[in-house]
Amino acid sequence: MIPAAFEYHAPKSLEEALRLLNRHGSEAKLLAGGHSLLPLMKLRLAAPRCVIDLGRIHALRYIREENGRIAIGALTTHTEVLESPLLRTKCPLLPQTAWEIGDVQVRNRGTIGGSLAHADPAADYPAAVLALDAEIVAASADGTRTLRAAEFFVDMLTTALLPGEILTEVRVPVLPPGTGTAYRKLHQPASGFAIVGAAARLTLGSGGKVERVAVGLTGVAPKAYRAAAVEKALTGKKASEKLLAEAARHAVPQDVELLSDLHASAEYRKAMAVVFTRRALEDALARAQSKKR
Amino acid sequence: MAETPKPPAQATIEWPPAGRRRLIGQRISRLDGPAKASGRAKYSYDVNRPGMLHAKLVFSTQARARITAIDTSAAEKMPGVRAIHLILQPGAEVRWVGQEILALAADTEEQARDAARAVKISYEPLPHLVADVPPEQAGTERVQQLREQTEGDPDAGLQQADVIFEGEYGCAVITHCCLEAHGQVAEWNEDNLTVWASTQNVSGLAPQFAQGLQAAGIPVQASQVRVLTPVMGGGFGSKFAADTWGVACAALARKAGRPVKLMLERDHELLAAGSRPSMYARVRVGAKRDGTLTVWHSESWGTGGPSAAGTPNLPYVIGAGRNPVLPKRSRHTAVFTDIGPARAWRAPNHPQMCLITMCALDDLAAKLQMDPLDFFLKNLQYTERPEVYREELLKAADLIGWREKWRPREEALRAKGPVKRGLGLSLHTWGGRGHNSTCQVTIHPDGSVEVAIGSQDLGTGTRTVIGIVAAETLGLPLEAVTVKIGSNEYPPSGASGGSTTVGGVSSSTRDAATNALNQLLAKVAPALGVPAEQLEAREGRIQVKDDPSRNLSWKQACARLGTTPITASGQTQASLISSGVGGVQMAEVAVDVETGIVRVEKMVAVQDCGLIIDLKTAESQCYGAMIMGICYALYEEKIMDQLTGHCLNPDMEFYKLAGIGDIGELVVHMMTGPRYEERGVIGLGEPPVISPGAAISNAVANAIGVRVPYLPLTPDRVLAALEAKGGAV
Ligand SMILES: Cc1cc2nc3c(=O)[nH]c(=O)nc-3n(C[C@H](O)[C@H](O)[C@H](O)COP(=O)(O)OP(=O)(O)OC[C@H]3O[C@@H](n4cnc5c(N)ncnc54)[C@H](O)[C@@H]3O)c2cc1C
CB B700 within 8 A of CB B693: no
CB-CB under 8 Å, A268 with B635: no
Q: What is the ipTM score, two decimals?
A: 0.91
From the list B110, B594, B716, the residue facing A2 with the nearest CB is B110
CB-CB under 8 Å, A265 with B716: yes
The whole-number pLDDT of residue B723 equals 94
CB-CB under 8 Å, A275 with B653: no
Nearest-neighbour CA in chain A from B109: distance (Å): 10
Which residues from A are below 8 Å from B662, CB to CB? Answer: 189
Is the domain of B249 the same as that of B389?
no
pLDDT, chain A, mean: 95
Nearest-neighbour CA in chain B from A129: distance (Å): 25
Instruction: Choose one of B576, B610, B630: the last residue of a domain.
Output: B576
CB-side exposure of B371: number of CA atoms within 13 Å? Answer: 12
Percent of chain A with pLDDT over 90: 92
Residue nearest to atom 1 of ligand 1 (CA): A191
The range of the structural domain enclosing residue B679 comes to 354-432+578-725
Is A255 exposed, middle or buried, given 0-12, 13-18 or 19+ CB atoms closer than 10 A? exposed
CB-CB under 8 Å, A190 with B595: no
Q: Is residue B208 part of a domain?
A: yes
Q: Is residue B29 part of a domain?
A: no
Is the domain of B461 the same as that of B375?
no
CATH number at residue B390: 3.30.365.10
The whole-number pLDDT of residue A4 equals 87
Compute, in angstroms, the gap from residue B177 CA to the centroid of ligand 1: 30
Is the domain of B442 the same as that of B557?
yes
Is the domain of B645 the same as that of B697?
yes
- Ramachandran sector of residue A148 (left: φ over 0; alpha: ψ -120 to 50; beta: rest): beta
CB-CB under 8 Å, A271 with B654: no
Q: Does B285 reach chain A within 8 Å, measured CB to CB?
A: no
Strand partners, A212: A203
Ligand 1 atom nearest A37 alpha carbon: 29
From the list A186, A190, A265, the residue facing B595 with the nearest CB is A186
Is B230 exposed, middle or buried, given 0-12, 13-18 or 19+ CB atoms closer than 10 A? buried
| Ligand 1 site-directed mutation target among A29, A30, A36, A125, most atoms within 8 Å of CB | A36
Is the domain of B520 the same as that of B635?
no
Q: Does B404 reach chain A within 8 Å, measured CB to CB?
A: no
What chain A holds in terms of domains, given with CATH numbers, is 7-55 (3.30.43.10), 58-173 (3.30.465.10), 179-292 (3.30.390.50)
Compute, in angstroms, the gap from residue A72 CA to the centroid of ligand 1: 16
Which residues from A are below 8 Å from B111, CB to CB? Answer: none
Is the domain of B624 the same as that of B520?
no
CA distance B485 to B463: 7
Q: Is residue B315 part of a domain?
A: no
Q: Is residue B582 part of a domain?
A: yes
Instruction: Choose one of B218, B235, B263: the last residue of a domain.
Output: B263
Does A115 contact ligand 1 (Cβ within 6 A)? yes
Contacting residues for B625 by C-beta, under 8 A, at least 6 apart: B346, B605, B687, B688, B689, B692
Does A114 contact ligand 1 (Cβ within 6 A)? yes
- Angle at alpha carbon of residue B439, lines to B436 and B440, rounded to 5°: 160
Q: What is the DSSP-derived secondary structure letter of residue A190? A: T
The whole-number pLDDT of residue B728 equals 66
CB-CB under 8 Å, A191 with B595: no
Q: In what order do the strands lie in the sheet with B81-86?
A: B81-86, B100-106, B53-59, B260-263, B183-189, B192-197, B225-228
DSSP H stretches of helix in B541-614: 554-559
CA distance B92 to A67: 75
Residue nearest to atom 14 of ligand 1 (CA): A102
State the sign of the Cα–Cα–Cα–Cα dihedral B337, B343, B348, B351.
negative
CA distance A6 to A4: 6
Q: How far is CA B655 from the centre of its chain?
A: 20
Nearest CA to B60 among B18, B9, B122?
B122
CB–CB contacts below 8 A, A to B: 25
CB B703 within 8 A of CB B583: no
CB B697 within 8 A of CB B623: no
A147-202 per-position pLDDT tens digit: 999 999 999 999 999 999 999 999 999 999 999 999 999 998 888 899 999 999 99
Ligand 1 atom nearest A30 alpha carbon: 47
Is the domain of B492 the same as that of B606?
no
Ligand 1 atom nearest A100 alpha carbon: 8
Is the domain of B447 the same as that of B520?
yes
Is the domain of B562 the same as that of B596?
no
Whether a cis peptide bond, with omega within 30° of 0, leads into B315 is yes
Own/partner contacts of B573-576, CB < 8 Å, gap of 24 or more, are B573/B13, B573/B507, B573/B508, B573/B510, B573/B511, B575/B12, B575/B13, B575/B14, B575/B680, B576/B13, B576/B14, B576/B15, B576/B434, B576/B503, B576/B506, B576/B507, B576/B510, B576/B511, B576/B680, B576/B681
Q: Is residue B340 part of a domain?
A: no
Give CA separation, B718 vs B131, B180, B585, B593, B711, in Å: 21, 33, 22, 8, 10
From the list B639, B654, B716, the residue facing A268 with the nearest CB is B716
Whether a cis peptide bond, with omega within 30° of 0, leads into B327 is no
Reported as type and span, the H/E element at residue B465 is helix B462-474
Please report, as a single letter, which amino acid is at residue B648. Answer: L
Contacting residues for B413 by C-beta, under 8 A, at least 6 apart: B420, B593, B703, B704, B705, B728, B729
CB-side exposure of B84: number of CA atoms within 13 Å? Answer: 22
Phi, psi of B167 (to 5 degrees): -155, 170
- Angle at alpha carbon of residue B135, lines to B129 and B140, rounded to 5°: 75
CA distance A187 to A202: 23
Does A219 contact ligand 1 (Cβ within 6 A)? no
Strands (E), B72-173: 81-86, 93-94, 100-106, 120-125, 143-151, 163-171
pLDDT category of residue A113 using cuts at 50, 70 and 90: very high
Compute, in angstroms, the gap from residue A64 CA to the centroid of ligand 1: 22
CA distance B465 to B31: 9
**Do the bridges between strand A50-53 and strand B541-544 make them parallel or antiparallel, or are there none, so unpaired?**
unpaired
Q: Is residue B653 part of a domain?
A: yes
The whole-number pLDDT of residue B1 equals 42
To test the contact with chain A by mutation, choose from B113, B656, B657, B717 the residue with the greatest count of A C-beta atoms within 10 A, namely B656
Q: Is residue B387 part of a domain?
A: yes
Phi, psi of B724 (to 5 degrees): -60, -30
The whole-number pLDDT of residue B626 equals 98
Nearest-neighbour CA in chain B from A264: distance (Å): 8
Nearest-neighbour CA in chain B from A184: distance (Å): 13
Residue nearest to atom 48 of ligand 1 (CA): A37
Instruction: Choose one of B539, B556, B576: the last residue of a domain.
Output: B576
The whole-number pLDDT of residue B729 equals 54
Is the domain of B93 the same as that of B188?
yes
Q: Does B724 reach chain A within 8 Å, measured CB to CB?
A: no
| Ligand 1 site-directed mutation target among A26, A35, A78, most atoms within 8 Å of CB | A35
Q: What is the mean pLDDT of residues A13-31?
A: 95
The whole-number pLDDT of residue A191 equals 84
- Number of domains forming the structure of chain B: 3
Strand partners, B106: B54, B81
Q: Is residue B166 part of a domain?
A: no
State which residues of chain B have pLDDT below 70. 1-11, 728-729
Is the domain of B368 the same as that of B391?
yes
Which residue on chain B is closest to A195 by alpha carbon? Answer: B595
CA distance B660 to B705: 28
Whether a cis peptide bond, with omega within 30° of 0, leads into B324 is yes
Q: What is the mean pLDDT of residues A256-272?
A: 94
CB-CB under 8 Å, A262 with B639: yes
Is the domain of B204 the same as that of B71?
yes
Does A220 contact ligand 1 (Cβ within 6 A)? no
Which residue on chain A is closest to B648 by alpha carbon? Answer: A262
Does A272 contact ligand 1 (Cβ within 6 A)? no
